[in-house]
Amino acid sequence: MMKGSTTKLRVRYAETDQMGVVYYSNYFVWCEIGRVEFLRQLGFTYKMMEAEDGCMLPVVEASCRYKTSARYDDEVLLETRVTGLRQYVIKFAYRMLRAETGELLAEAETVHVVVDKNMQKRPMPERYAEAIRATMHEVAAEGVTG
C-alpha cells in the first residue's frame, strides 16, 4: 500500500490573476484533484462510492496556508494523504510543491463528513475505510504523524 499520492499538474492561465499568480481559491480545486487521485490509486473512485454505496464526502472544513506564489505555467506536485479517519469523518492533508525546485507553495487540509444520498450522516463503508486505514498505518509505522 501507499502512504499517500502525488499528482503533477501545470498551472493554467485561467487559474491565475492579473499578476500571473494563482488565485487563492484554486488551491482548493487542486485539493479535490488530489483527493480524487488518492482514492483512484487505492482502487476505487468517488463515482464508485456514490453509485455503488450511496456514500458522499462533502467538505465541512477547509484551510490553506500559503507559503509562496505559484505562477502561470509552473509545474506543481500535489501530495495528498489521509491524516484522520473516524466512522463518520475523514481528514485529508495536502502539500503543493514547485516541481522544479521542491519549494513549498502551500499546505492545506480538508475535513469531510460521510453522508448518504439524503445528506444524512452514515458510517464509511468498510471496504473503503480498510484501504484508507492501511495508508495511515504505513505512515504511522514510519513515524510520521498528522
Active site residues per annotation:
17
What are the angstrom distances between the C-alpha of 93 and each of 25, 110, 120? 16, 7, 24
Residue owning grid cell 479517519: 85
Angle subtended at Cα 119 by Cα 115 and Cα 122, rounded to the nearest 5 degrees = 30
Residue 22 in grid coordinates: 494563482
